[in-house]
Amino acid sequence: MPTPAQVQDALRQVMDPELPISIVDLGLVRGVEVQGDTVHVRLTFTSLGCPCTDLIREEVQERLRRLPGVRQVEVEESFEPWSVEDISPQGRIALRQLGIT
């Protein structure tokens, strides 16, 4: 069974489809909970009309099912507002390197 920190590390491998930055560094992951063989992830998106919600959700489930001991992944969509303030320092560096400020 993975720890929440191991789940967060695995989620760093899930990239936003529109930007080459992880969903963790973009600030989309709002919560991670591990209960037995089930991982629950709470996500928000950059906008209510984000066209990539299904793709991100599927990639999260696929990636986390590869963790030892994980049998089920539940992804909850949170409607917490997202802003550029949610981007991690590493994410800001990556975006600057791409010329996005």
How far apart CA 31 and CA 27 sit, in angstroms, is 10
How do residues 52-75 score in pLDDT, each as one tens digit? 899 999 999 999 999 999 999 999
- In this prediction, residue 9 carries a pLDDT of 96
Q: Evaluate if residue 50 carries a pLDDT over 90.
A: no
Confidence at 77, pLDDT banded by 50, 70, 90: very high
3-state secondary structure of 59: helix
Confidence at 28, pLDDT banded by 50, 70, 90: very high
Q: Which of 58, 55, 56, 1 is nearest to 29 (CA)?
A: 56
Instruction: Check if CATH label 3.90.1150.10 holds for domain 4-97.
Output: no
Q: Evaluate if residue 100 carries a pLDDT over 90.
A: no
Contact predicate 78/47, CB 8 Å: no
